[in-house]
Amino acid sequence: MKYGISAEEAHHFGLPCGGTIQLVLEPLTLASGIAELCASVEAGKRVARTLDMATGVARLEPAPATDGMLFDDERLLTIHGPRYRMLVIGAGQLSRYLWSIAVGLDYQVTVCDPREEYTQEWDVAGTTIVHTMPDDTVIDMKLDERCAVIALTHDPKLDDLALMEALKTPAFYVGALGSRRNNAARRERLKEFDLSEAELAHLHGPVGIYIGSRTPPEIAVSILAEVIAAKNGVSLPELLQVEGAKAVREVTGKGEFCGV
């Protein structure tokens, strides 16, 4: 069914000028496969459901990590499964801002911090707080292609433990807060954990994109902008990466990049 052809319908459905909305109304039958679909989703599986518009028969199969939907009048393809997950190491002030934006982006957020002094007053609704060691948490979460890990403690004993395990997983994003000097030292430390060059290449650090951020909420925006780019398969230019942008500033001695 299609709505929004007339100005009256567009106004009724809150559509912009000239917009339309298409709805597929599907009677549920044994051929719909809804029970099987629900069971798969409850088991944490990601499923692609293809509905044949002529017969009403639905086909279920494993879905890729990326989101997607397709409708061409003959078939409707929809993706079903668990939400994107985010593991944040450290329950400090930055983590609170990061969480509030990530939840708005529909991430299922877990905050890991074994330090009791940081978690005693953690009262942020909508997050799961765990007090286990970061490496154990990464292993227990069984990270997949729909997961992001962000280390924010500045404590190598915590951040490095999480990173050494996270970089071995299919997580689409693994990053750590810190300066360029600290990031270089971190990479050297991680080599001692028998991580390969290919695995280390997946580490984002210094974490975030360069927007001149200074305050915790600005840094949170910077980090999540990079996470979104990685999730969507967007390769950021060097001038948007913290290390590349700051290197240019040091060469030019200015806070601007050739008119950018």
Summarize pLDDT for 52-67 with one digit per residue, the tens: 999 999 999 998 766 6
**pLDDT at residue 258 above 50?**
no
Q: Looking at the structure, do residues 90 and 68 belong to the same domain, yes or no?
A: no
- Report the percentage of the chain scoring pLDDT > 90: 47
Q: Looking at the structure, do residues 180 and 91 belong to the same domain, yes or no?
A: yes
Can you give the CATH number for the domain in which 127 is found?
3.40.50.720
Q: Looking at the structure, do residues 22 and 136 belong to the same domain, yes or no?
A: no
Residue 228 forms part of a structural domain? yes
Instruction: Write the burial class of residue 161 (CB in 10 Å: 0-12 exposed, 13-18 middle, 19+ buried).
Output: buried
pLDDT-derived band at 259, boundaries 50, 70, 90: very low
- For residue 37, the enclosing domain spans 2-80
CA distances from 26 to 31, 76, 88, 209 (A): 11, 11, 40, 44
**pLDDT at residue 260 above 50?**
no
Q: Looking at the structure, do residues 111 and 236 belong to the same domain, yes or no?
A: yes
Q: Looking at the structure, do residues 29 and 63 belong to the same domain, yes or no?
A: yes
Summarize pLDDT for 20-44 with one digit per residue, the tens: 788 899 999 999 999 999 999 888 7
Average pLDDT, the chain: 85
Summarize pLDDT for 126-167 with one digit per residue, the tens: 788 899 999 999 999 999 888 999 999 988 889 999 999 999
Q: Looking at the structure, do residues 29 and 136 belong to the same domain, yes or no?
A: no
Residue 65 C-beta-side C-alpha neighbours within 13 Å = 15
Summarize pLDDT for 91-120 with one digit per residue, the tens: 888 998 999 999 999 999 999 999 888 777
Q: What is the DSSP letter of 193?
A: T
Helix axes 156-166, 134-141, angle to 10 degrees: 20
**pLDDT at residue 85 above 70?**
yes
Q: Looking at the structure, do residues 102 and 199 belong to the same domain, yes or no?
A: yes
Q: Looking at the structure, do residues 189 and 70 belong to the same domain, yes or no?
A: no
Per-residue model confidence (pLDDT) at position 246: 55
Q: What is the DSSP letter of 53?
A: T
Residue 232 forms part of a structural domain? yes
Per-residue model confidence (pLDDT) at position 45: 84
Q: Which residues contact 7 (CB under 8 A, 6 or more apart)?
A: none
Residue 258 forms part of a structural domain? no
Domain count, the chain: 2
Summarize pLDDT for 215-252 with one digit per residue, the tens: 999 999 999 999 999 998 888 766 556 665 555 455 55
Full-model pTM = 0.73
